[in-house]
Amino acid sequence: MTTSKEAIMEKMEKLQKEQELCFTIPETFGGGAAIVQLNPNAGKRYILKVAKDLETARSSSPYWSHDKAKHIAKWVADRLGSLTP
């Protein structure tokens, strides 16, 4: 089930250090996984990591970072990201 931009933003704003939101991206948009985390370094607040699977995404470099949740949430929602438990 895809997750709305608003629901993603709400979950992002509740993230604590070391927590992450994991999404699966359907094949229509290239497939794979997207992970949203808080940035552990100074600067931008959220980071997005993308790869073909969750383990690779966790160890990859950030694809994008932004200080506002809505921009990253929109990217995930536009690609029909489905939140994984």
Question: For 6, phi and psi rounded to 5 degrees?
Answer: -65, -40
Provide the pLDDT for residue 85. Answer: 84
Task: Give the residue numbers spanning the domain of 17.
Answer: 5-83
pLDDT tens digit string along 5-62?
A: 999 999 999 998 889 999 999 999 999 999 999 998 867 899 999 999 999 999 999 9
Beta carbons within 10 angstroms of residue 65's beta carbon:
17
Residue type for position 15: L
pTM here is: 0.91
Report how far residue 43's alpha carbon sits from residue 66's, in angstroms, rounded to the nearest whole number. Answer: 9
What total of structural domains would you count in the chain? 1
Q: Is the pLDDT of residue 67 over 70?
A: yes
Provide the pLDDT for residue 17. Answer: 85
Provide the pLDDT for residue 1. Answer: 67
Residues 6+ apart with CB under 8 A from 45: 38, 39, 66, 67, 68, 69
Angle at CA 15, nearest 5°, toward 10 and 72? 60
